[in-house]
Amino acid sequence: MARPSTQQLMSLYEDMLRVRFFEEKIDQELFPAGLIRGLTHLYVGQEATGAGVIRALEPQDYVLSTHRGHGHCLLRGSDPARIYAEILGRRDGLCRGKGGSMHLCDMETNFVGCNPVVGANLPIGAGLAFACKYLNNGRLTAVFFGDGALNTGAFHESANLASLWKLPVFMVCENNRYAISVSVERASAVIDLADRAAAYGMWHETVDGMRVWDVWEAASRAAEVCRSHQQPVLLVCNTYRFVGHYTRDTLRYRPPDEARDEFREHDPIHLAERQLADDCAVDLRQLVDLRERVKREIDQAAEAAKQIAPPPAQWALEDVYVEQG
């Protein structure tokens, strides 16, 4: 494997830091303060998969995400203050407060959106890929989903059709080992999830989803196959969420020490720091400075979002239908 480029690894590291700080702010401050309604699913621990994959895409490519999509939206380049504003239900949120945490969408970055109906984004992604092929516009469509979605009929129908019709859809399975509380071992008849791709003759690869450089390299290979050969690919990223499925999760389904041990051994941010120090000879001071800068940026975004007013009630009846143009 090629020695990482310092500049690129630093970019990936910065991406991961931004997501980590963004989510920790929710977990430690915004949610406990009662500023967030309903459900919020955090991406803490899975940053390397989103960062590595999204850096391997082009700006014109479409990205579809899941209920755990803050990170993907942020990595795609949305303004963190507008993401926070949406999560807080404020008027300047990405979706003017109509979507919230589970329905982020930003077409300025071609982030088609989060989709909290597990598996539902796979046929939509295949359809987008169909449109791209039909219009011959060279775009590919990346669809993120978890290990749970692999057990939906939507995955199988989409995988079959995408392979049959040779659609440029990049399927990214973020295997964080639990579908809410049910582990992969208790939910899937095959443990090597990439085996699912074989049934549809689909190009596939499995990567350590905690190592951002490895993810980026694998995702770059997958994107190249997908784009230049106009065919679907499945990249399984083995990862782990250090936090609960959602902010109120009791975590009674996991061994008590599991998350602590995983964090100690496989925290993607720590692994990237070690790689930067060992392979790229980056000075520790530089990393500390970067952390402080990104942290400040996130703090400011959250503060800015908190100052934004909620949407006026009458907005509730707008956008139910698109006006004939």
Partner 1 sequence: MSSRGEQAQPGGAQQSPAPRVREVAYALAVRTALREEMLRDERVFLMGEDIAVYGGVYGATRGLLREFGEKRVRDTPISEAAIAGMAVGAAIGGLRPVAEIMYCDFLSIALDAIANQAAKLSYMSAGQLAVPLVIRTCAGGHGYAAQHSQSLEMWVTHIPGLKVVTPGTCADARGLLKSAIRDPNPVVVIEHKALYQTTGPMPAEETLEPIGVAQVAREGGDVTLVSWSAMAGVCLEAAQELAAEGIEAEVIDLRTLLPADFDAVVKSVRKTGRLVVAHEAVTYCGFGAEVVAQLTERAWGDLKAPPVRVGSRFAPIPFAEPLESYVTAGKQEVMDRVRTCVKG
Please report, as residue ranges, which positions from 185 to 224 form the binding site for partner 1 (by CB under 8 A).
none
SS3 10: helix
- Among candidates 305, 295, 314, which has minimal Cα distance to 86? 305
Residue 117 touching partner 1 (CB under 8 A): yes
Among 128, 149, 173, 234, binds partner 1 (CB under 8 A): 128
| Residue 106 Cα distances to 52, 94, 96, 146, 280, angstroms | 20, 6, 11, 21, 35
Does residue 165 contact residue 197 with C-beta atoms inside 8 Å? no
Instruction: Write the binding mask 23 to 62 for partner 1: x where contact by CB under 8 A, - elsewhere.
Output: ---------------------------------------x
- Among candidates 22, 31, 13, which has minimal Cα distance to 298? 22
Instruction: Write the binding mask 221 to 240 for partner 1: x where contact by CB under 8 A, - elsewhere.
Output: --------------------
SS3 45: coil
CA distance 83 to 67: 14
Q: How far is the CB of 139 from partner 1 (least distance, A)?
A: 8
Among 42, 105, 173, 305, binds partner 1 (CB under 8 A): 105
Does residue 243 contact residue 45 with C-beta atoms inside 8 Å? yes
Among 14, 24, 96, 177, binds partner 1 (CB under 8 A): 96
Residue 148 touching partner 1 (CB under 8 A): no
Q: Which stretch binds partner 1 (CB under 8 A): 13-21, 40-48, 92-100, 262-270?
A: 92-100
Among 32, 38, 77, 153, binds partner 1 (CB under 8 A): 153
Which residue matches tokens 């899941």?
66
Nearer to partner 1, 55 or 98 (CB): 98
Residue 145 touching partner 1 (CB under 8 A): no
Residue 313 touching partner 1 (CB under 8 A): no
Q: How far is the CB of 314 from partner 1 (least distance, A)?
A: 14
CA distance 131 to 174: 25
Sign of the CA dihedral running 264, 70, 54, 174: positive
Phi, psi of 215 (to 5 degrees): -65, -45
Residue 127 touching partner 1 (CB under 8 A): yes
**Where do contacts with partner 1 occur on this chain (CB under 8 A)?**
62, 94-96, 98-99, 103, 105-107, 112-113, 115, 117, 120, 122-132, 134-135, 141, 153-154, 157-158, 160-161, 164-165, 318-325
